[in-house]
């Protein structure tokens, strides 16, 4: 895919003194006191370059806390004045943009539920035409690289040159340990298409829980991301939204201190190029194994169902179906047919072995 963006480097619109950009703040601005206290603690810890807060919160179902709306914007003004840090919020329609600019918001981001709809993105692009404000675009909810690329292109074509991407993970088709599956390969491909584009990791929305934040943040830095956007609340357990994925400012400061920031390099010789490619391969292989582990978890459930219904582990028709369908999928992806055939013979036979093992354990 040949594409390019006419954008300014991250360093031209925010000074991070050579460090990865850190955007931190509560999932939602709940009260003025909560916003100001959280902002004050973040400033005191000294790790953040930008304050973030949710003003309008798109929720999957009605009845959940959906943000304080315009009433919270003066709180961000006050936090900005008190800390001296620029502020960032999510916008989902032209009215949000108008209000954000009215109250002096410095950075806007487009949420995953908005990125998925080209009509909505185009409306935002038109509203931003002629406006000099940085805009960050989260990946769409579903794993569709073209939607992400299209959103960035629409904004850039409207004149937005201070542009970046936020990788927040993708909705899961099945239960995994992550709230949103990272699918690092999609972000890597985006960076391959647009090498000049700043990419910021969002560990909070990928993890969904505090215990996974460090590993995801470190992975993002290992992949040479330009920064992190992480949720931080003065009292996370009492947060009105996404309590389980937020850290107190001191806890976040401690986590960030433990992260290893990799040196940025621009390989010029064969060995350097080789190591860059090998690093990408290693990350993809790790994701392949994570997906394989998820598949085997489903196989265990299948074994229990077959046991309860007195069904044999091996079904020849299913075996043929797997080989045929995977061969077709592989062909559509330009994969070597023999590779796909051998790979799924191994995977299916391991599935059969796993099923018989589980069924025998249960029966024993």
CA–CA gap between residue 204 and residue 232 (Å, rounded): 9
Q: Which of these, 283, 271, 171, lies nearest to 221 by C-alpha position?
A: 283
Q: Within 13 A of 168's CA, how many CA atoms are on the CB side?
A: 25
Q: What is the pLDDT of residues 273-331, one digit of tens each?
A: 778 788 888 888 888 898 888 888 888 888 888 888 888 878 888 888 888 898 899 89
CA angle 74, 75, 80 (to 5 degrees): 95
Least confident segment among 153-157, 167-171, 197-201, 298-302: 298-302
Separation of alpha carbons 281 and 131, rounded Å: 40
Span between the terminal Cα atoms of the chain, in Å: 55
CATH superfamily of domain region 10-258: Aldolase class I (3.20.20.70)
Tens digit of pLDDT for each residue in 120-137? 999 999 999 999 999 999
CATH topology for 270-363 is: Chorismate Mutase Domain, subunit A (1.20.59)
- The set of residues, in sequence order, having a beta carbon less than 8 Å from that of 69 and lying 6+ positions away, is 55, 56
Reported in sequence order, the residue ranges of 54-206 that DSSP labels E, i.e. its strands, are: 87-91, 107-110, 135-138, 163-167, 199-201
Positive/negative CA dihedral, 192, 193, 199, 201: negative
Residue percentage of the chain with pLDDT more than 70: 96
pLDDT tens digits along 31-66: 999 999 999 999 999 999 999 999 997 767 777 788
Q: Kindly indicate the confidence band of residue 264, based on its pLDDT and cuts at 50, 70 and 90.
A: low
pLDDT at 309: 84
Q: What is the pTM of this model?
A: 0.76
| Angle CA 64–69–75, to nearest 5 | 120
Q: Among residues 169, 172, 177, which one has the least CA distance to residue 204?
A: 169
What is the residue extent of each domain of the chain?
A: 10-258, 270-363
- Residue 236 DSSP class: G
d(CA 79, CA 35): 7
């Amino acid at each position: 895919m040949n594409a390019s963006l006419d954008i300014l480097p991250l360093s031209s619109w925010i000074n991070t003194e050579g460090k990865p950009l850190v955007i931190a703040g509560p999932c939602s601005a709940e009260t003025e006191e909560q916003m100001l206290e959280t902002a004050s603690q973040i400033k005191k810890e000294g790790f953040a370059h930008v304050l973030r807060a949710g003003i309008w919160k798109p929720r999957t179902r009605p009845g959940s806390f959906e943000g304080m709306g315009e009433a919270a914007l003066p709180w961000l003004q006050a936090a900005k004045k008190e800390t001296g840090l620029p502020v960032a919020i999510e916008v989902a329609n032209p009215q949000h943009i108008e209000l954000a600019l009215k109250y002096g918001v410095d950075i806007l981001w487009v949420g995953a539920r908005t990125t998925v709809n080209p009509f909505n993105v185009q409306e935002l692009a038109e509203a931003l035409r002629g406006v000099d404000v940085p805009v960050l675009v989260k990946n769409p909810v579903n794993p569709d690289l073209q939607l992400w690329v299209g959103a960035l292109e629409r904004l850039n074509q409207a004149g937005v040159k201070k542009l970046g991407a936020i990788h927040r993970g993708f909705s899961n088709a099945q239960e995994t340990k992550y709230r949103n599956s990272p699918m690092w390969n999609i972000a890597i491909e985006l960076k391959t298409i647009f090498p000049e584009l700043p990419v910021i990791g969002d560990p909070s929305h990928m993890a969904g829980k505090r215990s996974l934040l460090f590993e995801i943040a470190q992975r993002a830095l290992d992949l040479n991301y330009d920064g992190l956007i992480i949720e931080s609340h003065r009292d996370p357990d009492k947060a009105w939204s996404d309590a389980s994925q937020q850290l107190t400012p001191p806890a976040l400061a401690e986590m960030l201190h433990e992260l290893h920031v990799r040196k940025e390099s621009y390989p010029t010789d064969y060995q350097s190029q080789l190591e860059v490619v090998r690093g990408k391969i290693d990350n993809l292989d790790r994701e392949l194994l994570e997906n394989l582990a998820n598949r085997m978890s489903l196989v265990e459930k299948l074994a229990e169902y077959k046991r309860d219904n007195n069904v044999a582990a091996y079904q020849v028709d299913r075996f043929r179906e797997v080989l045929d369908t995977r061969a077709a999928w592989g062909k559509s992806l330009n994969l070597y047919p023999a590779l796909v055939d051998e790979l799924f013979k191994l995977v299916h036979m391991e599935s059969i072995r796993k099923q018989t093992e589980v069924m025998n354990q249960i029966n024993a």
